């Protein structure tokens, strides 16, 4: 009998359940005797020994269900080697529970921080296979992560819905999209939603260039402007500051969009409104595209388990599912290249990036 553990870690998103379903259905189909256990609430469950046995019926009806049926939590990688408040060695505890539960493999679904810890466990001798999850699409080694397209759809819908009220009231609207370090989500939603200005972390903005773009639209008789702003967007001045100084500066505002809005209002005299979709971008039903790639990724992860090929993430490259060594994934980020064709094409459409 094979005993497989499932673990979801980090921020939740659409298609976590769909991916686990893909793994489980393939294992049940291909292996005569398999038992699956769900590690509860991410790495916390692996550290403190919390789990539950899962049955085939647990994977029925969850293809379209958001969130994760086994819970998740954020456990910073930088603290994994540090004892907890009771002096517990977290890495040792995870290894002990893996052995105690007699697991043949641990399937881990997560993003950047999750993959750092997954690689650590692999290096410590555990059999690990991972699947790429994040709405930010910033995981190295894969062209696409599940959850991203669903989040793009939600962020795009938010921008779509702002158009009519922005036009009716002749206002400048800022829609703040998730993305602290990278701008894939803001970039795609901005293009899809017809945003006039897109500000992402990879391209530090000049507020005067942003104002010029708004003024140009006004001179052309266009009554409104819409900005898609990543929550991690930085000005050319702020990018030179330390994280501590940026945090100190931002204390005056709920988020970067409010700071940008105040600056635009001061320079143009136009009314500015801020809209923050927030965690709605992580929630709800996964879109069909995510359901397809999640099912494919899950099936491919199960194939690696059957072949006993461990220490890999299943990634998507040129629309093919491929195994990527965890050592190549851990600690790396896939950021938007300011010189890439998608940026050039967006600029050709007239989108301003503030540079």
Which residues carry out catalysis? Answer: 136
> What CA–CA distances, in Å, run from 129 to 132, 161, 210, 310, 341?
10, 40, 45, 6, 33
> Could you tell me the two tokens for 123?
């290096």
Exposure of 16 by Cβ count < 10 A (0-12 exposed, 13-18 middle, 19+ buried)? buried
Distance CA 107, CA 304 (A): 10
- Whole-number Å distance between alpha carbons of 270 and 288: 40
Measured distance between the N- and C-terminal CA atoms of the chain, rounded to whole angstroms: 59
Max CA separation in the chain (angstroms): 72
Q: What is the DSSP letter of 58?
A: G
Angle subtended by helix axes 341-348 and 184-192, to nearest 10: 30
What DSSP string runs through 1-37? -EEEEEEE-SS--TTHHHHHHHHHHHHHHH-SSEEEE
Are 165 and 313 in contact by the 8 Å Cβ rule? The answer is no
């Amino acid at each position: 009998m094979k005993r497989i553990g499932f673990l979801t870690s980090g921020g939740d998103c659409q298609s976590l359940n769909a991916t686990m379903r893909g793994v489980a259905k393939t294992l049940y189909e291909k292996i005569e005797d398999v038992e699956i256990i769900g590690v509860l609430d991410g790495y916390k469950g692996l550290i403190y020994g919390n789990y539950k046995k899962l049955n085939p019926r647990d994977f029925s009806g969850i293809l379209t269900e958001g969130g994760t049926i086994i819970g998740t939590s954020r456990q910073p990688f930088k603290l994994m080697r540090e004892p907890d408040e009771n002096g517990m060695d977290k890495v040792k505890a995870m290894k002990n529970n893996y052995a105690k539960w007699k697991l043949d493999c641990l399937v881990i679904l997560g993003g950047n921080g999750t993959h750092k810890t997954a690689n650590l466990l692999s290096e410590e001798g555990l059999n690990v296979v991972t699947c790429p999850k994040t709405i930010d699409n910033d995981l190295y080694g894969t062209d696409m992560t599940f959850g991203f397209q669903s989040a793009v759809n939600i962020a795009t819908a938010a921008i779509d819905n702002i158009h009519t009220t922005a036009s009716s009231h002749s206002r400048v609207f800022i829609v703040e999209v998730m993305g602290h370090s990278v701008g894939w989500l803001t970039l795609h939603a901005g293009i899809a939603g017809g945003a006039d200005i897109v500000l992402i972390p990879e391209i530090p903005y000049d507020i005067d260039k942003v104002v010029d773009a708004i003024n140009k639209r006004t001179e052309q008789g266009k009554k409104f402007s819409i900005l898609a702003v990543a929550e991690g967007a930085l000005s050319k001045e702020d990018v030179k500051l330390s994280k501590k100084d940026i945090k100190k500066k931002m204390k005056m505002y709920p988020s970067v969009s409010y700071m940008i809005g105040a600056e635009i209002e001061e320079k143009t005299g136009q009314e500015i409104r801020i809209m923050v979709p927030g965690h709605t971008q992580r929630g709800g039903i996964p879109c069909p595209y995510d359901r397809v790639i999640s099912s494919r990724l899950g099936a491919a992860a199960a194939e690696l388990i059957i072949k006993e090929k461990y220490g890999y993430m299943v990634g998507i490259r040129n629309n093919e599912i491929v195994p990527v060594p965890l050592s190549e994934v851990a600690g790396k980020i896939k950021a938007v290249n300011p010189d890439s064709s998608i940026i050039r094409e967006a600029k050709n459409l007239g989108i301003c990036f503030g540079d």
